[in-house]
Amino acid sequence: MTIPFDSPSGSARAPIREVEIVHLGDELLLGLRDNTHLTFLGRYFSNYGIKIRRDQVILDKHEDIVRFFGDSWGSSDLVITTGGLGPTVDDITREALAECIGLPLEFNEGIRAAIEARFERFGRKMTENNLRQCWVLKGAEILENPNGTAPGLFLEKDGRYLVMLPGPSRELQPMVAEVLMPKLLAKGLVSAQNPFIQLRTCGIGESMLETKVKPLLDVHPWVEVAYCAHSSMIVDLRLACLDPARESALDQLASDVAKLLGEDLVGYGECTLAKRIHQYLVANEQTVSVAESCTGGMLAAALTEHSGASKAFVGGVVSYTNEAKVQMLDVPECMIQQHGPVSAEVAIAMATGAAERLGSNYALSITGFAGPDGGTDKDPVGTVYIGYHSPSGAWSTRIVLMGDRATVRQRATFAALDFMRRKLIAHKADDFMRTCC
């Protein structure tokens, strides 16, 4: 089956507005590997005003590839395929698309040299089947893959565009960010201007957020509004301009919404709770440490997930047992016996112990019943106490979280970060808000 290239308008359809994705791989449909590509590509392309209109996962079968790709090719500006570019017998994307589009495959010596050099660099012998990756659609541009042997391909034909990407996420994601998107920008197929403004909130539910901002947004019908609630207590509010003549007014509206949100606002874009805290601490040459029980190091992981974390994060202690709390954090044994390891008193003592032992200005602690076992009549499963130590005093808060063990641990981590963020705002509001990302 050959799909005709004739464009309905007879001209190029740039800039790209709509994308379809076809994922190839039996392992995806069998549940052997998570398909994270849609989440990544959807978020990434939306930053350039490109919408994904359809996403499909299909088997590594020649007839399926021809059928589903052919349908997508005839209806979108850009079709992206993922997977099926490797060296094994089930990697048939190149051959199927060559038949579908009606273009021959050509052997590329440059790819061969690159594959041989990669194997030599790792001290391994290249098997003959790796040469299958050297065949490319005639006229296609090669997308370099620095993390694998299978290059990607970019093809432009009569106003339609095809991008072929390898399946592994560690190869696909950097290729999109570092190779594909710069190419699309250079060709003028996408705009570098962000088509929307995203405000990130925490500690306010999706319904309450809408209720809070609705009176302000209702008087601006030229704005498209979208909400996205995450499992980590984060809710994003996205504002997009429907009227190009009012694009300059979007910034002012976002600023007005930010003022209305107050301390519920984390920041703009993909700003995280940990990054907000990090920015404030670095700006004020201060540090933080952590002490954890039920979260087992998740709080420390969150505070170190971005580069440069060592400028503000000193270290952490995972004190899972009562003995560890006493020995590593100087929590009085009598306090644990009197109030229990899951209590406000112990949470504060853990935070204070971490600050004193590790020499930090601030400290956060978490102790709780993550489940499914444990808990008391007073503090059932899901109860978490958060401790906070600062130069101006120490506090704690009690929260009860719903969900399984993994959910409780995750939400406790974000609740602790948000507790510290709000405390910093309460004591240093002007300084903290000036560092808003």
CA angle 52, 57, 58 (to 5 degrees): 135
pLDDT at residue 397 tops 60: yes
Over range 203-231, report the average pLDDT: 94
- The answer to whether residues 161 and 222 belong to one domain is no
Domain that holds residue 292: 273-434
Q: Is residue 361 part of a domain?
A: yes
Q: Is residue 1 part of a domain?
A: no
Average pLDDT, the chain: 91
The pLDDT of residue 430 is 64
Strand partners of residue 362: 288
Domain with residue 300: its CATH number is 3.90.950.20
- Final residue of a structural domain among 147, 163, 186: 186
Q: 186-214: string of b/e by CB count within 10 Å (b at 16+)?
A: eeebbeeeeebbbbbbbbbeeeebeebbe
Q: Is residue 6 part of a domain?
A: no
- The answer to whether residues 25 and 150 belong to one domain is yes
- The answer to whether residues 85 and 126 belong to one domain is yes
Q: Is residue 8 part of a domain?
A: no
Binned at pLDDT 50, 70 and 90, residue 9 comes out as very low
Over range 30-43, report the average pLDDT: 89
pLDDT at residue 4 tops 60: no
pLDDT greater at residue 257 or residue 194: 257
Q: Is residue 145 part of a domain?
A: yes
- The answer to whether residues 72 and 158 belong to one domain is yes
User: What are 82-97's pLDDT values in tens digits?
Assistant: 999 999 999 999 999 9
- The answer to whether residues 163 and 145 belong to one domain is yes
pLDDT at residue 15 tops 80: no
Binned at pLDDT 50, 70 and 90, residue 5 comes out as very low
- The answer to whether residues 256 and 285 belong to one domain is no
Domain with residue 210: its CATH number is 3.30.70.2860
- The answer to whether residues 211 and 94 belong to one domain is no
CA dist 153 and 139 (Å) reads 10
- The answer to whether residues 304 and 157 belong to one domain is no
Do 319 and 330 form a contact (C-beta atoms < 8 A)?
no
Quick one: tokens of 375? Answer: 């808990």
The pLDDT of residue 158 is 79
- Final residue of a structural domain among 213, 242, 268: 268
Which residue bears the tokens 């509001």?
429
Q: Is residue 9 part of a domain?
A: no
The pLDDT of residue 51 is 84
User: What are 365-387's pLDDT values in tens digits?
Assistant: 999 999 999 999 999 999 999 99
- The answer to whether residues 173 and 120 belong to one domain is yes
- The answer to whether residues 280 and 254 belong to one domain is no
Number of domains in the chain: 3
Domain with residue 45: its CATH number is 3.40.980.10
pLDDT at residue 24 tops 80: yes
Q: Is residue 290 part of a domain?
A: yes
Q: Is residue 4 part of a domain?
A: no
Looking only at the bridges linking them, the beta strands covering 152-157 and 141-143 are: antiparallel
Quick one: tokens of 286? Answer: 């201060």
- The answer to whether residues 210 and 69 belong to one domain is no
Quick one: tokens of 69? Answer: 């790709």
pTM higher than the cut 0.85: no
- Final residue of a structural domain among 186, 211, 228: 186
- The answer to whether residues 323 and 290 belong to one domain is yes
List C-alpha distances in Å: 236 to 193, 197, 201, 251, 417: 20, 10, 6, 16, 17
pLDDT at residue 240 tops 70: yes
Three-state secondary structure readout of the chain: CCCCCCCCCCCCCCCCCEEEEEEECHHHHCCCCCCCHHHHHHHHHHCCCCEEEEEEEECCCHHHHHHHHHHHHCCCCEEEEECCCCCCCCCCHHHHHHHHHCCCEEECHHHHHHHHHHHHHCCCCCCHHHHHHHEEECCCEEECCCCCCCCEEEEEECCEEEEEECCCHHHHHHHHHHHHHHHHHHCCCCCCCCCEEEEEEECCCHHHHHHHHHHHHCCCCCEEEEEEECCCCEEEEEEEECCHHHHHHHHHHHHHHHHHHHHHEEEECCCCHHHHHHHHHHHCCCCEEEEECCCCCHHHHHHCCCCCHHHCEEEEEECCCHHHHHHHHCCCHHHHHHHCCCCHHHHHHHHHHHHHHHCCCEEEEEEECCCCCCCCCCCCCCEEEEEEEECCEEEEEEEECCCCHHHHHHHHHHHHHHHHHHHHHHHCHHHHHHCCC
